[in-house]
Amino acid sequence: MARNQTLLKILTDMRGEARLSMNPSHNLGDRDAQIGLLQREQERLWADHDWPHLMVSRYLPAGAGRRYYDPRAGFNENWEPKNDLSMERISDVAIFDGHLWRTLHYGIGDHMRFSHDSLAGEVSWPPRAWQRSEDDALEIWPMPDESGVTSVNQSAPPEMQAVIRIRGVRDLRPFRDDDDRADLDDRLLALYGGAAILAEAGAKDTNLKLEAAQRHYLRIKGDQDQREPFSLFGTRAVQHVPRPYVSRYRRPE
């Protein structure tokens, strides 16, 4: 069992799990339907869990007076454009300020808008909150009063400022051609796909195959669960006191 296996291999494995012929010529009429089944199973499982190996960081330069941002316009650490992070899978947002990443909390309430009204063009620094807008954009509050640079590195130089970092589960890669590779475990996809084929055929052992798939799924998720950080001097990780925000405010002219 492994990730990053080809569609052709997983398609063959699924046929084996469903007791179909392993001869490709015998499956020509059903090939497209079988590929579609594997695609749907991978998409379903992708949406069901925050897969740690698919977690990515994407970066956006803040814009002075800019309220909304498109997460799909983000860049990776090498400042290469990446259109692979949707709003639904964002887990946290941070801003680079004072030589460190400051996490923004989720939610922008009315009391916050009274203190810094984005509609009136009021800007301040640093941003402190974010939320999903009705147009599926990333809203930052308060609006920044400066624009970001265009180079990103985790050990950032002092001159780097005003860069937004978004983290989340990236989109699945294309999974249509024989050489395309799956983002999720090959056996997991083969088992669930095989169970679906057996169920459609009314096979008596459908539940056994489905139970095997579910056990494998739970095993994978259990292996990926993050453990408590280990400390020689106690059972809890050291709790760092966050540095306070130093805010500046400028009303619109």
Residue type, position 222, single letter = G
Name the residue ranges covered by the structural domains of the chain: 7-51+184-224, 54-171
Q: What is the mean pLDDT of residues 82-100?
A: 94
pTM: 0.81
Q: What is the mean pLDDT of the chain?
A: 87
Residue-wise DSSP of 78-140: T--B-----GGGEEEEEEEETTEEEEEEE---HHHHHHS-TTTT-EEES--EEEE-TTS-EEE
Q: Smallest Cα–Cα separation from 116: which of 129, 134, 135?
A: 129
142 preceded by a cis bond (ω within 30 of 0): yes
Q: What pLDDT is recorded for position 235?
A: 35
Please write the tens of the pLDDT for every residue from 193-240.
999 999 999 999 999 999 999 999 999 998 876 544 443 333 333 333
Instruction: Give phi and psi for 202, each to the nearest 5.
Output: 75, 25
pLDDT at 158 over 60: no
Residue 137's Cβ-count burial label (10 Å; 0-12, 13-18, 19+) is: middle
Q: 23-27, 192-196, 232-236, 241-245 — which is least confidently predicted?
A: 232-236
| Mean pLDDT in residue range 14-23 | 92
